[in-house]
Amino acid sequence: MTTDAKTALLRAGIIGWPVGHSRSPVIHSYWIARYGIDGAYDRYGVPPDQIEAFLGRFSDHGLIGCNVTLPHKQAAFAACDDVDEVGRTLEAVNTLWLDEGRLHGANTDAYGFLANLDQAAKGWDKNPGAAVVLGAGGAARAIVWALFSRGFDPVHIVNRTVEKAESLAAFFGTGTRAHAWDALPGLLQTANIVVNSTSLGMAGNPPLEIDLAPLPETSLVADAVYVPLETSILKAARARDLVAVDGLGMLLHQAVPSFAKWFGKVPEVTDELRAHVVADLSKDG
Ligand code: NAP
């Protein structure tokens, strides 16, 4: 990997394994150019058996900070000297930065989820009620916390492996309930919001096939998946005239606090940025 601690260039990046699919470089490089910052943002593949050593010697890599993606978010949390409140609650961080030799961490995934809905579906949380989250992985953990933070209660966690839903519900405690997939039709009847945080529907994976007919007509449907942008669940929601929000906005918004922390400028999520990233995604066919 490129390391040059002596250069004036502000160097950030993303660590993960694999990391080649990440669009974070497209987003941050756009903002670096847009705001005329003397910076760079690259991908750094770090295998699981090297992550502890990589994080333990973070200051050796010439990075002012980095994003963290699968499967390293928990390892990054464990390696930090200081972690923000959300990261401490979720026990996972996606943003790291050095300050006077100390490694700081934050979790901006929940912020990204909320900021996306605030921008794309204004007033979406005015009357919070029941929420249904499909999936019980890393994205679900951030999304369940985010929904709680806006007053949604109960938050139903529905997952193929019900034990993982139970474990996530136990992690959050009161207000969350774990369910197997076959409970969905009943849960949808009272859901104000449904969020897909499984990898179903993502390019290369089977589609997410659920019947949205039981949902009330005021419900919102959101997907964390952003490749493709228009997933089958979003198409089904639009066919019912429900508000439907894709996952790209979450990705764009979670990058905002990271960029601000490293480069000292709060960047904007604009239609132009979105179009720029969509164009890059379309290269994958
Ligand atoms: P993860 O921790 O690996 O969790 C994957 C989830 O998908 C699990 O709940 C898993 O269920 C479920 N799943 C996988 N294959 C399935 C199948 N065939 N049938 C039913 N359920 C299945 O992954 P993650 O980090 O949470 O990411 C999940 C999705 O969110 C990915 O598509 C990712 O790209 C997206 N995401 C988007 C953003 C964004 O900014 N928009 C951020 C993070 C993640 P089991 O427990 O039963 O295996």
- The answer as to whether 90 is a domain residue is yes
Q: Is residue 4 part of a domain?
A: no
Same domain assignment for residues 118 and 233? yes
Are 145 and 271 members of one domain?
Answer: no
Q: Do residues 239 and 115 share a domain? A: yes
Integer Cα distance of 83 and 273 in angstroms: 29
User: How much of the chain, in percent, has pLDDT values that exceed 70?
Assistant: 97
Q: What is the mean pLDDT of the chain?
A: 95
Q: Tell me, yes or no, whether 127 and 222 share the same domain.
A: yes
CB neighbour burial string for 123-154, b if at least 16 within 10 angstroms, e if fewer: ebbeebebbbbbbbbbbbbbbbbbbbebebeb
Ligand 1 center–CA 223 separation, angstroms = 11
Q: Which atom of ligand 1 is nearest to the CA of 249?
A: 41
203 and 77: one domain? no
135 and 21 in a common domain: no
- In a domain, residue 195? The reply is yes
Residues with C-beta less than 6 Å from any ligand 1 atom: 70, 109, 112, 135-140, 159-161, 164, 197-200, 202, 206, 224-226, 247, 250-251, 254
Indicate whether 276 belongs to any domain: yes
The total number of structural domains that make up the chain: 2
Does residue 5 form part of some domain? no
Q: Which residue's CA is the nearest one to ligand 1's atom 39?
A: 251
Task: Write phi, then psi, for 279 (nearest 5 degrees).
Answer: -65, -40
Interval 127-139 mean pLDDT: 96
> DSSP letter string over 67-105?
EE-TT-HHHHHHH-SEE-HHHHHHT--SEEEEETTEEEE
Is 49 within a domain? yes
Task: State how beta strands 39-45 and 10-16 pair.
Answer: parallel
Tokens for 15, please give them: 């660590």
Assess whether 122 carries a catalytic annotation. no
Residue type, 160: R
> Please, which residues have CB within 8 angstroms of residue 277's CB and are 6 or more apart in sequence?
23, 26, 27, 30, 248, 251, 252
Q: What's 215's DSSP letter?
A: S
Cα–Cα distances in Å, from 281 out to 44, 264, 268, 275? 20, 28, 20, 10
Instruction: Residue 86: give its domain's CATH number.
Output: 3.40.50.10860
Same domain, 202 and 262: no
Residues 39 and 131 in one domain: no
163 within domain boundaries = yes
92 and 206 share one domain: no
Radius of gyration of the chain (CA): 19
Name the residue of 26, 196, 198, 223 whose CB sits within 8 Å of the most ligand 1 atoms, as the mutation to test its pocket: 198
Q: Quick check: is 60 in a domain?
A: yes
Domain CATH for 237: 3.40.50.720
- Same structural domain, 163 and 241: yes
Whether the predicted pLDDT of 189 surpasses 70: yes
User: Is pLDDT at 2 greater than 50 in this prediction?
Assistant: no
What pLDDT is recorded for position 1?
39
For the stretch 223-261, pLDDT in tens is 999 999 999 999 999 999 999 999 999 999 999 999 999
| Helical axes 271-282 vs 248-263, angle rounded to 10° | 110
Question: Do both 125 and 199 map to the same domain?
Answer: yes
228 and 119, same domain (yes or no): yes
Find the domain containing 43 and state its range: 10-106+249-282
80-107 confidence digits (pLDDT tens): 999 999 999 999 999 999 999 999 999 9
pLDDT in tens, 49-72: 999 999 999 999 999 999 999 999
